[in-house]
Structure 1
């Protein structure tokens, strides 16, 4: 009897420690953002925005895919003005991006969104967290005529169909988007 009670208590303790789908998505989004920021910061510390473009082009998708695989969920960086076609939002994501952009233009704060959806008979939790343009981002994402020539060359080489310029500090750049299967 005592052994059964101990096993039951252990099972409850393990179950209680299992992160919720929301926690899994939020942690993955926050961790990915931190790692990508570190990758770019290292290049920019060396004074190379062109190097940051190259690093982003070579590493961002790979790191994002690794994070998703390790955490057993879908994870993407998305934008209405994307550099990589893999970052093009689906309709649900685009709807929230457009709403956030309007809110930010009106000076209103934006917050992450989440929704439980059913796709092909399976339930998922969708979570999105906005990404705002910071002043440091303008070296690669600012108005095209204000981007340094070597950065433009790097952008043209790595992203021939680039749509991700013309921003001002404080505008919505895009979002992190996670999809977690629900039991």
Structure 2
């Protein structure tokens, strides 16, 4: 499912710097999708592998340690390996570093509206122009899997010690109350226009 982002009102950032979304050229979308999908899957497979390993070795307690101490480091590692900026974001974030910016909010809203109408788009693409340079953003949606409910499900059904630990690590946590199959958020991959050539 394709979704192109169209021109919206420009915003002013840092004084005279203008940032705005512009239309994604149709001929560039396949390459954006190829890069975005490969990069987001590389991150997701890495994080999933670490979480599964932690669950097998030390259960949910150790998995929480991976999320709080290693997830950002692993994301940075994949960024360094691929050369693309990556972020996991959602409206119900646990780590404040994952809070969406206004363009990410647009993408999240797009998926939420599509889901309400009974669809789950495979991706969403934006083109953001800042100081005459264009960066394409590829968004891959994420659904909640059964394993995720250990730490992101109904708190009343979770281990009380785990709930306490999560609240200690993330005092403003909003990432609970999910059911399997719920829309969780997106992985965002930023691709500078000059890297498409």
Fold match by TM threshold 0.5: yes
The residue number in structure 1 matching 2:76 is 65
State whether structure 2 residue 77 is matched by structure 1 residue 94.
no
Larger radius of gyration, structure 1 or 2?
1
Equivalences for residues 1-183 of structure 1 within 5 A: 20-46=31-57, 48-183=59-194
**How far apart are residue 149 of structure 1 and its match?**
1.2
Task: Kindly indicate which of the two structures has a greater share of residues assigned to helix.
Answer: 1
Report the Cα distance in structure 2 between the residues aligned to 1:142 and 1:129, rounded to whole angstroms.
22
Report the Cα distance in structure 2 between the residues aligned to 1:158 and 1:45, rounded to whole angstroms.
22
**How far apart are residue 103 of structure 1 and its match?**
3.0
Report the Cα distance in structure 1 between the residues aligned to 2:113 and 2:153, rounded to whole angstroms.
19
Instruction: Give the count of matched residue pairs.
Output: 164
Deviations, residues 77-119 of structure 1 (Å, cap 9, x unaligned): 1011111111111112112212312333443222211122212
The residue number in structure 1 matching 2:18 is none
Report the Cα distance in structure 2 between the residues aligned to 1:47 and 1:26, rounded to whole angstroms.
31
Report the Cα distance in structure 2 between the residues aligned to 1:76 and 1:104, rounded to whole angstroms.
22
Unaligned runs of 5+ in 1: 1-19
Report the Cα distance in structure 2 between the residues aligned to 1:161 and 1:76, rounded to whole angstroms.
19
**How far apart are residue 47 of structure 1 and its match?**
5.8
Q: Normalized against structure 1, the TM-score is what?
A: 0.82
User: Residues 51 and 106 from structure 1, CA distance in 2 versus in 1: closer, same or farther, beyond 3 angstroms?
Assistant: farther
**How far apart are residue 21 of structure 1 and its match?**
4.9
